[in-house]
Structure 1
Amino acid sequence: MIISKTPLRASFFGGGTDFSTYYENSKLGYGTVVSTALDMYVYITVNKKFDDSIRIVYSDNELVSNVDEVKHNIIREALKIVGIERGIEIVYMADIPLSNAGIGLASSSALAVGVLNALHVYKGEFVSQGVLAREACEIEINRLGQRIGIQDQFAVAHGGFNQYKFFSNGSVSVSPIVCRKDIVENLKKNLMLFYTGNTRDSREILNEQSDTIVEKTVMLDDLVNTTDCAVRALYDGNIDYWGTELDRTWNIKKKFAKGISNLLIDEMYNKAKSAGAIGGKILGAGGGGFMLLYVPQKKQDSVKKELADFRNIPFSCSNEGSKIVFYD
């Protein structure tokens, strides 16, 4: 039996610049994001089955005779990439509810990376975090045709608090945010996470965003510059810059596609700001899921009170990426 553990992630700046349509053609030469892995995880259990069938357990329960019959698209394609056609049992669960609807924490990419990690180890193969990320991209983007960027796969594979750069030649750099420990701790203490109560199918939002990337190049260039500036600001100890830029770039993000925000999200965000939040954003494609807020500690009780109808999710950051936690 093998169990993999893969973190979810929160992205701060640069979302959209990780689409290949942008970074492959950017005059700046790259796209870039800053994100952190969270202490919320997807767990994958893999075990040899007694017979030659395939059993997959999630919100559904599949029992099929060969890999082509598997309905779960990510798991089916992961089995094909690794070269396993029968005789296996896969179970997955997570620290948050998982469904077909998006929540903005990269749960589908964490599932893809976690399944790949466990299946490779099941076959006695070691692959790097970078390979896991690229194989997850192959599944989600090339095989399943999802019109998404590539930040999530790298963030959940590598873990930690990093700046990622996506270069026009296809290479990806992973640079840990290295600055004084007290600065990072103060930043984290000023972050709050709330669940909107809504999930959404992100495909329509992402399709529109993908279709309009070229005409939004100027805004995306701005996001690249903001991401680089945010990293420098953190080195300088200017953590409030993150709050003001989260607010400014959230207003940019809302222009990328219809449905990124809505009346509920706007009301929630305005209430948070009136109670003392400096900035924030909806994580992921938008439309629902989780809202990340930058709130000075002395204002956090006021924000909690103002957003009492929404669940506040305590969280911390994880330094570890996808890993095997049990092997027998």
Structure 2
Amino acid sequence: MYISYSPLRITFGGGGTDVEPFLSKYGGAVVNATIDRGVSVRYIEDGYQLELSSRDFVRSYIVNMHRPVSVTKMMADFLSDSGIRTGRVIMSGDAPPGSGLGSSSAAVSALMNLVNTVIGRNVDRETLAEESYRLERDHFHVLLGKQDPYAIAFGGFKYMEFDRDGMKKEDLGRYDDFANELERRILLVYTGKTRQSSEVLMEQVKASEMGDEETDRKLLEMKDVARKLRDSVVNNDMEEFAHQINRGWEIKKSLGSRITNDRIDRIIGMALSGGADAARLMGGGSQGFVLVMCRPENLNSLQKRLMRISNFVVRTSFDKSGTRMIR
């Protein structure tokens, strides 16, 4: 048996600047962290015809509306083309695709890592990230940014910059005092639904493709948010870090008509009025998980408060290892 695992990720700021065509024009910057929840892909070679199963990924995966081919068929084609035509592939995840935690990219990265291991192909993390990005974009037809496959492949708490020439990253986890304190301040609150991330992102992409100066200006502000988040970590300034999360969310909301809704606004409002220092929706917008940041002394009471509006309010820790084989 082979088991490949990829962690999910949370983004503190800069999301959207890693999406084309803005990325090639101006370069993107994000601050993110992988967390202690993820997606696993198991492969058991039993000699029989290939069987694919999943608790939620296959059932929930959003496929390109213009090519109504099941994700099961696309996965089977990829595995077959890679030389895996027999055995069982079983996928399971801690969050469904469309939740804003990069679960689709985590699944694809884990699948790519599994295939490489089974066929005896060794690649470095950057190659794994780039190949996973291309597989998700070109084979599964998902509109996505660069940060997810790269954040997930490398793991950890980091600042990342992207441009047409590649990626640069800085390990923010080396600032132990800040990183450890930040972990103690995080809650994730589920809105109760997922969304079609490609459709939400499309509004931003079309505006940028048409040369909309206002959209590009806002994305440049988002890039500045990421840089200031990075600086606040280096300066051990938790108050400024929280401020930049909130600033980034205000910019994000203005990038599309479906970024937020009444339920998201209610969750964020309840969090901030209940003692949170920062709150923002993860991912492209519309549904998924809300990231809440508060002081440790307020965490317990705030978690209980938010459970009045959501059935899933959880604490989390950072994952430092990224995509890996665990068996």
Compute the displacement of 1:282 (Å).
0.8
Q: Deviations over 1:174-226 (max 9, x none)?
A: 22115431222112222221112222222321111211234211111111122
Structure 2: distance between partners of 1:319 and 1:115: 19
Q: Taking structure 1 as reference, are residues 78 and 151 closer, same or farther at Cα in structure 2, changes over 3 Å only? A: farther
Corresponding letter in the other structure for 2:40 = Y
Q: Is 1:318 equivalent to 2:319 in the alignment? A: yes
Q: Is 1:218 equivalent to 2:214 in the alignment? A: no
Compute the displacement of 1:294 (Å).
1.5
Q: Taking structure 1 as reference, are residues 158 and 179 closer, same or farther at Cα in structure 2, changes over 3 Å only? A: closer
Q: Is 1:257 equivalent to 2:256 in the alignment? A: yes
Contact 1:74 1:140 in 2 (8 A): no
Residue matched to 2:40: 43
Q: Taking structure 1 as reference, are residues 77 and 222 closer, same or farther at Cα in structure 2, changes over 3 Å only? A: farther
Tell me the secondary structure at the aligned position of residue 276 of structure 2: coil
Structure 2: distance between partners of 1:177 and 1:201: 31
Greater than 6 Å deviation, 4+ residue runs: none
Q: Deviations over 1:10-32 (max 9, x none)?
A: 01110011012112111xxx211
TM-score, length basis structure 2: 0.89
Corresponding letter in the other structure for 1:220 = L
Contact 2:33 2:157 in 1 (8 A): yes
- Number of residue-to-residue matches in the alignment: 311
Residue matched to 2:63: none
Q: Relative to structure 2, which stretch is displaced further, 195-204 or 112-121?
A: 195-204
Residue matched to 1:298: 297
Let me know the Cα RMSD of the aligned residues: 2.1
Q: Deviations over 1:26-56 (max 9, x none)?
A: 1xxx2111110100021111122413x2111
Structure 2: distance between partners of 1:180 and 1:160: 12
Q: Deviations over 1:245-286 (max 9, x none)?
A: 111111110111122110011011111111111221111112
Tell me the secondary structure at the aligned position of residue 260 of structure 1: coil
Corresponding letter in the other structure for 2:313 = N
Q: Taking structure 1 as reference, are residues 219 and 90 closer, same or farther at Cα in structure 2, changes over 3 Å only? A: same
Contact 1:37 1:159 in 2 (8 A): yes
Structure 1: distance between partners of 2:46 and 2:14: 43
| 5+ long unaligned stretches in structure 1 | 63-68
Q: Relative to structure 2, which stretch is displaced further, 138-147 or 230-239?
A: 138-147
Structure 2: distance between partners of 1:44 and 1:199: 21
**Which residue, 200, 205, 230 being the options, matches 1:205?**
200
Q: Taking structure 1 as reference, are residues 203 and 37 closer, same or farther at Cα in structure 2, changes over 3 Å only? A: same
Residue matched to 2:233: 234
Corresponding letter in the other structure for 1:136 = S
Contact 1:75 1:112 in 2 (8 A): no
Residue matched to 2:16: 16
Compute the displacement of 1:73 (Å).
5.5
Corresponding letter in the other structure for 1:44 = V
Compute the displacement of 1:77 (Å).
5.5
Q: Taking structure 1 as reference, are residues 239 and 131 closer, same or farther at Cα in structure 2, changes over 3 Å only? A: same
Compute the displacement of 1:60 (Å).
8.1
Contact 2:186 2:315 in 1 (8 A): no
Structure 2: distance between partners of 1:21 and 1:212: 10
Identity %: 26
Corresponding letter in the other structure for 1:58 = S
Q: Is 1:32 equivalent to 2:33 in the alignment? A: no
Corresponding letter in the other structure for 2:107 = L
Structure 2: distance between partners of 1:17 and 1:165: 10
Structure 1: distance between partners of 2:55 and 2:174: 42
Contact 1:77 1:139 in 2 (8 A): no
Residue matched to 1:6: 6
Structure 1: distance between partners of 2:86 and 2:102: 29
Tell me the secondary structure at the aligned position of residue 50 of structure 1: strand
Contact 1:281 1:291 in 2 (8 A): yes
**Which residue, 107, 114, 120 being the options, matches 1:111?**
107
Q: Is 1:248 equivalent to 2:247 in the alignment? A: yes
Tell me the secondary structure at the aligned position of residue 318 of structure 1: coil
Structure 2: distance between partners of 1:124 and 1:61: 26
5 Å-filtered alignment, 1:261-300, equals 261-300=260-299
Structure 2: distance between partners of 1:106 and 1:155: 9
Q: Taking structure 1 as reference, are residues 24 and 131 closer, same or farther at Cα in structure 2, changes over 3 Å only? A: same
Corresponding letter in the other structure for 1:254 = K
| 5+ long unaligned stretches in structure 2 | 59-68
**Which residue, 47, 50, 66 being the options, matches 1:54?**
50
Structure 2: distance between partners of 1:61 and 1:244: 35
Contact 1:259 1:286 in 2 (8 A): yes
**Which residue, 145, 151, 155 being the options, matches 2:147?**
151
TM-score, length basis structure 1: 0.88
Contact 1:212 1:256 in 2 (8 A): no
